[in-house]
Structure 1
Amino acid sequence: MQIGRIEGATRVLGKSQGYLGLPVRDEIVTCTVNGSTTPVMVTAWLPTPKELEALIAGAAVHVRIVGTMHPPILVDVGPQPREEGEADD
């Protein structure tokens, strides 16, 4: 997977630590455990053509968390990219 630039990114994580840098968008969501003002960070990941082919063939998405403490995460699919000049719905 390649790091994507999430629309509306509010900051970049990890660059000063020697990583490539991960653009994130800070949001507030409603969580059934933590309530209606739960902060989250949203990132975008773009599959390579080979990875996309594997996903279409039924391969799973694997998420690796650095370290030994696993925070709660949400994984979903973002909106399809719009064509240049395409109007909002």
Structure 2
Amino acid sequence: MLPLRIANATRILAETQDEYYALAIKDEIIDGTNQMTSVWEPTPSELKMLNEGGAVRLTILGTGHPPVMITAQPAPGLSS
């Protein structure tokens, strides 16, 4: 997956860490809960795997697993 620039990004993570992708995130508080949202696009080979019934895999670096949420969003210009 390739990180995309999220609309109204509030900060860029790992911007100066060459070993990681720079990740634009949007910080929000929704229903009293802090959230950091990023947007990702599957590569052509990943999209092929997904269309063939594959799944999305989430990897957390480190030994503690934070709460996470994975969702989909419509393509630019399309509404959900």
**What TM-score do you get using the length of structure 1 for normalisation?**
0.78
Alignment-derived partner of residue 2 in structure 2: 2
**Count of paired positions:** 78
Q: Distance in 1 between matches of 2:21 and 2:75?
A: 24
- Which stretches in structure 2 are left out of the alignment for 5+ residues? none
4+ residue segments displaced more than 2 Å: 16-20
Tell me the C-alpha RMSD between the 2 structures. Answer: 1.7
Residue by residue over 1:33-71, the C-alpha shift from the partner in whole angstroms, topping out at 9 and shown as x without a partner, is xxx210100001100111111101110100111100000
The one-letter amino acid of 2:76's match is P
Q: How does 1:55-70 map to 2 (within 5 A)?
A: 55-70=50-65
**What TM-score do you get using the length of structure 2 for normalisation?**
0.86
* Aligned residues with identical type, % of pairs: 42
Q: Determine which structure has more spread, i.e. the larger CA radius of gyration.
A: 1
Q: Cα offset for 1:27?
A: 1.4
Alignment-derived partner of residue 13 in structure 1: 13
- Which stretches in structure 1 are left out of the alignment for 5+ residues? 30-35
